[in-house]
Structure 1
Amino acid sequence: MNEVLASTLRNAVYERLDYLDRLVNEADLPSRASLADSEIARMTAAWRNLLAKHEPDYRGRCRECGGWRRRRPHPCSVWTTAHKNLIVIDSPKTPSTGRHAAASYLPSAG
């Protein structure tokens, strides 16, 4: 039963995203403005909820990522994905090889 529920949930989310993509790409300007009025608040609330679950613990590790024995260091992939999609705009392509390539677009500490 869990597989059926997970599949149903996954399909519903992807169908909603596909619907929103179609509206953004094919709807007229007033429809897109209405969509922005309703969906931007929902999307920011969803991002905030997801990011709150991935805040670092007192040791600087993600509370959600990893197993019970070993948490992932912060920022985890959820935070780096949020940064990449919400902050980084039209950045040049970075190499996608190597163990740390996924986080290579993050600003340097220096």
Structure 2
Amino acid sequence: MDENLAATLKAAVHERLDYLDHLAVDGDEPSRAALAETEITRLTSAWRVLLDLHAPDEHGRCPHCSSWRRPRRHPCSVWTTAHQHLISADGPSAHRTGRHADAAGRSTVAVLGAS
């Protein structure tokens, strides 16, 4: 992927996430209801596709996070990030390291109806 295209793609995704965060936090009641009706299904579908891409292979390794030099056992950072954001009561940890640390440092978690 060309560097300019990658930067454009990254910026577009972050802008969309920021917009959704803004609607969830600062939107009026009808906006938050519309957000719930349209975006939750899109976001859960995206998580499912991402998690399917990072499903362990027959050797128990993530095919996308593994490299020939350093195979990654399942669960990879994508699965642990999903668990932190979707399951853990504590939410994401403050200290991030590793391959996806820069992307994971940006808040995209929004609670509908939060004030």
Deviations 1:2-44 (A, max 9, x none): 0110010000001101111111111111110110110000000
- Cα gap change, 1:76 to 1:25, in 2 (>3 Å): same
SS of 2:62's partner is strand
Quote the Cα distance in structure 1 between the aligned partners of 2:4 and 2:94.
38
- Aligned residue identity for 1:45: S
Query: Displacement, 1:66?
Result: 2.2
- Residues 1:50 and 2:78 are matched in the alignment: no
Quote the Cα distance in structure 2 between the aligned partners of 1:96 and 1:33.
33
Quote the Cα distance in structure 2 between the aligned partners of 1:41 and 1:94.
25
1:64–1:71 contact (8 Å) kept in structure 2: no
- Residue aligning to 2:111: none
What is the aligned residue count?
97
Quote the Cα distance in structure 1 between the aligned partners of 2:2 and 2:62.
26
User: For the aligned residues, what is the CA RMSD?
Assistant: 2.4
- Residue aligning to 2:113: none
Query: Displacement, 1:71?
Result: 2.6
Instruction: Output aligned runs, 1:8-87, within 5 Å.
Output: 8-68=8-68, 70-87=70-87
Query: Displacement, 1:90?
Result: 2.8
Between structures 1 and 2, the one with greater strand share: 1
- TM-score with structure 2 setting the length: 0.75
Query: Displacement, 1:63?
Result: 1.2
Structure 1's unaligned 5+ residue stretches are 98-110
| More contact order relative to length (CA 8 Å, sep ≥ 6) | 2
Quote the Cα distance in structure 2 between the aligned partners of 1:31 and 1:70.
46
- Aligned residue identity for 2:40: I
| Largest Rg, 1 or 2 | 1
Structure 2's unaligned 5+ residue stretches are 97-115
